[in-house]
Amino acid sequence: MKYLIAAFLSSALINILIIRYLGFQVLCDTCEGIQKFHQRPVPRIGGCSLYFSALLVAGLFFLAGKPFAGDFLKVLLCALPLFLSGLLEDITKRISPRWRLLAGFVSGALVYGVLSARIARVDLPGFDRLLQIPAFSLFFTAFAVAGVSHAFNIIDGFNGLASGVAMLVFGAYAYVSFLLNDQFLVYLGLIMLFATLGFFIWNYPFGFIFLGDGGAYLLGYISAVLGILLILRHPQVSPWFPLLLVIYPVWETLFSIYRRKFLKGYSPSVPDAIHFHTLVFRRLIKLTFGGEMDTLKKNAFTSPYLWIMQMFCVTPAVIFWRNTYVLMFCVLIFILFYTWLYFRIVKFKTPRFLIPFRGGRVEESR
């Protein structure tokens, strides 16, 4: 418990220091831009609190002689290329998506080389045979790490959204790791959960500090690495367990690429304001609570909708973590539900069950 308290307190303290002493313009996220939904400049280097609090706990593990201290530190060191690329973008706003994606591949390759962690199976016979080829396994592992890392950055649009989803994911990993008596993965999941909580209390609901790209990438990276290590170390765990845990940010990313490239006809790297969480902000909050609510309150009410959706993934995942077919079915159901719901909201046909506080007929204005 003392390590969890250390992770939480150190993260919270670092965030206080950033808010109090480093909240100057160069490190702030401005209010201008198609994906900006806050009303004042806000420091966007909250990811530093996650990384440095985890490093502190790694040092405590070494001092205590924990047998997994070396592996814990290796996980953090492998994250450096990706984390630094995001942090530099947060500070300079000049690091292109291509370079940040490359940094994600480098961190994924380091996981393969330094930790000997690789994706060796996905419970699809033909694909599993390809994963026995070292070069293909290396590429797919790096691709998965980079993809999940960037997926968490895609959903980092409102106060508490990405960090809340990440805490649910880390908690699920820690629970299953506890059932398997894997002390290293239990601590990795819980340390990241409590470090994220130390950030969350300053981010939600008032948005005093943001994760930034560095923080969002780090949350996605740890989520991916935890899944890779869990299925590698414990063959009884279905590889679809970690996929179901992160299917919301992953499908949001894949669907956004499809929507931008094929439905809108422009580059997938061009930002837009019609992500699912943006539709919740612009449509559902207005329909549920009326159009007079100020921006900060609308921002705060947005994330709980997505946390609930994430819980519909986490709950069956932790119940059926051994059963590949059930997990596959849940992944498919989520994809179909998300896609159906997205198009319903876009077409101003929001399902009635999403606006429970409004009585009678609800008319959506275009």
Give the bridge partners for 29, in sequence order. 42
Give the bridge partners for 348, in sequence order. none
Q: Rounded to an integer, what distance in angstroms lies between the CA atom of residue 86 and that of residue 97?
A: 10
Q: Rounded to an integer, what distance in angstroms lies between the CA atom of residue 156 and that of residue 165?
A: 10
- Lowest model confidence (mean pLDDT) among 22-36, 58-72, 170-184, 299-313: 22-36
The b-or-e profile of 174-184 (16+ CB within 10 A means b, else e) is: bbbbeebebeb
- Lowest model confidence (mean pLDDT) among 6-10, 92-96, 174-178, 186-190: 92-96
Does residue 36 belong to any structural domain of this protein? yes
Does residue 161 belong to any structural domain of this protein? yes
Q: Rounded to an integer, what distance in angstroms lies between the CA atom of residue 57 and that of residue 138?
A: 29
Binding-site sequence positions for Mg(2+): 153, 213
Q: What are phi and psi of 43, to 5 degrees?
A: -55, 135
Helix (H/G/I), strand (E/B), else coil: 262? helix
Q: Rounded to an integer, what distance in angstroms lies between the CA atom of residue 190 and that of residue 28?
A: 29
Does residue 366 belong to any structural domain of this protein? no
28 pLDDT above the threshold of 70 = no
Q: Rounded to an integer, what distance in angstroms lies between the CA atom of residue 316 and that of residue 238?
A: 13
Does residue 83 belong to any structural domain of this protein? yes
Model confidence pLDDT, tens digit, residues 306-353:
999 999 999 999 999 999 999 999 999 999 999 999 999 998 888 888
Does residue 246 belong to any structural domain of this protein? yes
Does residue 363 belong to any structural domain of this protein? no
Q: Which domain holds residue 328?
A: 2-354
Model confidence pLDDT, tens digit, residues 277-291:
999 998 888 888 877
Model confidence pLDDT, tens digit, residues 50-62:
999 999 999 999 9
Write down the mean pLDDT value for the chain.
Answer: 91
Question: Is 0.85 surpassed by the pTM of this model?
Answer: yes
Pair of tokens at residue 187: 């601590």
233 pLDDT above the threshold of 50 = yes
Does residue 361 belong to any structural domain of this protein? no
Does residue 360 belong to any structural domain of this protein? no
Helix (H) / strand (E) element for 28: namely strand 28-29
User: Which residues 6+ apart lie within 8 Å of 36 measured at CB?
Assistant: 29, 30
Binding-site sequence positions: 153, 213
Model confidence pLDDT, tens digit, residues 254-278:
999 988 887 777 777 777 778 899 9
pLDDT confidence of residue 357: 58
Instruction: Count structural domains, the chain.
Output: 1
